[in-house]
Structure 1
C-alpha cells in the first residue's frame, strides 16, 4: 500500500513597506517550494486567505494525485536535481 506525503512547503516573506508620510502596509510573497510558483500579496489578510484556500484544497489535490499515481523516488530526485542546477546557474 502506497501513501502520499501530505506535506507542502512554502517560503513566505513578509515585510513592512512604508513611504514618507504614511503608516505603511505589510507586503508578502509566497513561493511554493515544490513547483517554484510565486504569488505576491499587498496585505497579510490576503496572504492568510490564500493559505486557508490552499489548505482546504490540499486534501482534494492529494486524492487526485493518488488516483493518478505518485511520482517514483527517482522522478522526484531528478526533479530536485534539475531545480538545483537551475538555481546554481542563476547564482
Structure 2
C-alpha cells in the first residue's frame, strides 16, 4: 500500500548507515525476505513485479523496522505522524 516503508540500519564497520525503502505509488507494497545470509527488501507492484530492491548481509543488519501506511481518519485525511 502506498506509504508503507521499511527502515534498515546496517553496520558498516565505521559506524552505521540507515536506508529506507518506501512504496511510492498506489498498489505497491514492500516485501521483506531473508534467505541464507542475505536480507532483501523489495518494492513490488500488484502483479509482483519488483521495482526497487535492496540487499544486505544479514550479519550486518542491526535493525529492520516496518512502518505500515496509516489508515485514513474519519475526515479522510491521513495523519502525518509528526505531532507537535
Both structures adopt the same fold (TM-score exceeding 0.5): no
Structure (1 or 2) with the greater strand fraction: 2
Larger radius of gyration: 1
TM-score (norm 1): 0.24
Report the structure, 1 or 2, having the larger helix content.
Answer: 1
Answer 1 or 2: higher relative contact order, Cα 8 Å, separation at least 6: 2
